[in-house]
Amino acid sequence: MDEVEFEVTEERKKFLINKIAQKVVDMRLSPVAIVFLESSKPLSFIGNQFMIFMQPFYRAFFSYREYEEVAAMLEERKNIETLICEIERLEEAWNEAKRTKKNPRD
């Protein structure tokens, strides 16, 4: 069976990266995800192959098309760095909202 190539537009990459980052932050896994992603940058192709191996797990979070798009997208190191930055941005926003809620200013 031939492998289908998925072309992921820049707009779609932004959507998927935000979706992944939001799930990571919602699950309170930001530090673990960032360390994992930082350490896997040099091995992005191997990481992509690992995603294929772990497909049943990931499919719980993504549709088939999204899963294939994420796998294709993460072959490029720059997309991994973009994902890390988005996780950090959303984590900071979450922490700021928590601080503001805890110490409301009159």
Q: What is the pLDDT of residues 20-30, one digit of tens each?
A: 999 999 999 99
- Give the three-state DSSP class for 51: helix
Q: What is the pLDDT of residues 44-97, one digit of tens each?
A: 666 666 666 667 766 677 788 888 888 788 778 899 899 999 999 999 999 999
Q: 89, 105, 101: which is closest to 30 by C-alpha?
A: 89
pLDDT at 37 over 70: yes
Tell me, letter by letter, the H, E, C secondary structure of 52-94. HHCHHHHCCCCCHHHHHHHHHHCCCHHHHHHHHHHHHHHHHHH
